[in-house]
Structure 1
Amino acid sequence: MTQPVGVLLREWRERRRLSQLELSIQAEISTRHLSFVETGRAKPTSAMILRLTEQLDVPLRERNTLLLAGGYAPVYPQGRLDGPQLRAVRDSLRQVLVGHEPFPAVVVDRWWTMLDANAPVGLLTAGVAAHLLEPPVNVLRLSLHPEGLAPRIANLEQWRAHLLSRLERQARSTGDAKLDELLAELTAYPGGTGPAPAEHDVVVPLRIRHDGGELRFFSITAVFGSPLDVTVEELAIESFFPADAATAEALRAVTA
């Protein structure tokens, strides 16, 4: 059962660690009125809900939930990535993936489901258990599962800590129960005993054993800058770049 809109707003305010005074100043409303909204003594308008959720940086999916809880219709559409309305988005993502070759890149949704990938990703997933590659493929599960990439990750302990910390922050920021479940699952996987980062590392590297050697990557995440659609907001491109010249040369050689 959906909680009252005031309760949900209070939960989001507390999640963002803001006091009523701080939020009321940011939203340019009185603290008294905000208090009445949170306790159910005042019914917020749809404009008020949108103003508060904007200040609280609430994801679009949850903004629609708050509007419904307040008795209003959702205002943010949720298109299908394979539908005609998001064709331009889909084509742009595919162009980025292909343009990034010969280096790996994937498109994921909010729950880290792989929606698209370029050809070099196959180099990373070689040898993983078939059941982990059956759709829907979760890239975090694929990375840390004992039958996935984990046995090939030279710095598994370091990479695992990085992914779990990132997922924990995302779950806390969004309040998404599915992400909490994924975090619990991945935390239960073995952690590995990889070496500490090298002194010259400036980002957490992904070090993959390959053909008796090692491929080293760092990743960059890209999202849409001004989304107005729930699906588009939840898309991200995870691009892997070579962290040394040897990795770049090896990937170019494989492509050639």
Structure 2
Amino acid sequence: MTTTAADKGVGPLLRAWREQRRVSQLELALRADSSARHISFIETGRSRPSEEMVLRLAEHLDVPVRERNALLLAAGYAPRYSQTPLDDPALDSVRAGMERLIQGYEPYPALVLDAMYNVLAANRGILMLLDGIPESLLEPPLNAMRLTLHPEGMAPRIRNLGEWRGHLLAQMERQIALHRSKPLRELYEEVAAYPVPDAGSGEPLEEAPYFALPMLIEHEGRVLSFISSISTFNTPMDVTVAELAIETFLPADPATVKYLQSLVS
């Protein structure tokens, strides 16, 4: 999709992002300190935007960093944002910081994901939840969505699978809308087609004053309750860093806290 639009110049790309964000030309012009006429000329190819204007429009349209490079290339400029492999020495401090963070979160589960939900790092709390999953699902690259929703993965042990599955699929839909990624769309279609195990498909949530949807998962004869939080980097200047996410699982009830603390006492 991006390649086809890029072949026609930056205008169709910017128009597609603007329409996807449901922003009018006038509203975008006001945000970017420009005019609706100029925005129209850019989108139709009658005017070539400056590099600064491309980046300004991308910022106001919340275009992902990877796609900002595509906009710059389509406009005839060099990419602004590097894409450094995570194992590159230049990212040693980022990688070490994330590893310290998820290890320091133990005994609670935490992991690092990329834009495709591949697991780049995980602590012992996550490994505990993967008990009993067949080796075929644990071969690298580990994928958090497959591990969670596959009928041979965690899904049969998730007591509120219907609600949790709906939450994960909705999260993926939001990411697809943001990034317009074909591989992510293919992953979504794969995991959405998994059959739902009977064991976790229909049990309602227990009546409790939850402040966020918990994942209720069976583990060694007990039910553990977690809510998840996802953190990303502010103002990233590298595509790899922009697409990293740290997901942490906070115990949602006293019984889960007590059990996890007992593992380290």
TM-score range, shorter chain: over 0.9
Cα deviation, residue 194, structure 1: 3.0
Counterpart of 1:105 in structure 2 is 110
Aligned partner of 2:35 in structure 1 is 30
* Aligned position for 1:202: 211
User: Pick from 99, 118, 127: which aligns with 1:122?
Assistant: 127
The aligned counterpart of 1:224 is: 233
CA distance in 2, matches of 1:215, 1:113: 24
1:173 aligned onto 2:182:
no
Q: Alignment partner of 2:225: what SS?
A: strand
Q: In the alignment, does 2:191 pair up with 1:186?
A: yes
Structure 1: gaps of 5 or more residues:
none
User: CA offset at residue 253 of structure 1?
Assistant: 2.1
CA distance in 1, matches of 2:207, 2:195: 23
Q: Hey, what does 2:248 align to over in structure 1? A: 239
Letter of the aligned partner of 1:47 in structure 2?
E
Structure 2 SS opposite 1:220 = strand
Identity %: 50
Listed as ranges, the gaps of 5+ residues in structure 2 are: none
Residue 12 of structure 1 corresponds to which residue in structure 2?
A: 17
1:45 is aligned to: 50
User: What is the CA–CA distance in structure 2 between the aligned matches of 1:160 and 1:197, rounded to whole Å?
Assistant: 17
Cα drift, residue 78 of structure 1: 1.2
Where does residue 211 of structure 1 map in the other structure?
220
Q: 2:144 aligns with which of 133, 139, 144?
A: 139
Alignment check: 8 A CA contact 1:105 1:240 kept = yes
Contact 1:217–1:240 (8 Å) recurs in 2? yes
Counterpart secondary structure, 1:221? strand
- Distance apart, 1:190 and its partner CA: 2.5
TM-score (ref. length: structure 1): 0.96
User: 8 Å contact 2:64–2:178 — kept in the other structure?
Assistant: no
Counterpart CA distance in 1 for 2:203 and 2:43 is: 48
Deviations 1:116-143 (A, max 9, x none): 0111211111111212111111101110
| 2:35 aligned partner, one-letter code | S
Q: Is the 8 A contact 2:72 2:78 kept in 1?
A: yes
Spell out structure 1 runs of 4+ moving beyond 6 A.
none
**Deviation per CA, 1:63-120, whole angstroms, max 9, x where unpaired?**
0011111111101111111111111101110110111001110000111110001112
Residue 197 of structure 1, CA deviation: 5.4
Residues 137 and 153, structure 2, Cα contact 8 Å, conserved in 1: yes
What TM-score does the superposition give when structure 2 sets the normalisation length?
0.93
Report the alpha carbon displacement of residue 198 of structure 1 after superposing the two structures with TM. Answer: 2.6
- Work out which of the residue numbers 90, 94, 97 in structure 2 matches 1:85: 90
The one-letter amino acid paired with 1:232 is V
CA distance in 1, matches of 2:74, 2:56: 15
Q: Secondary structure at the match of 1:106?
A: strand
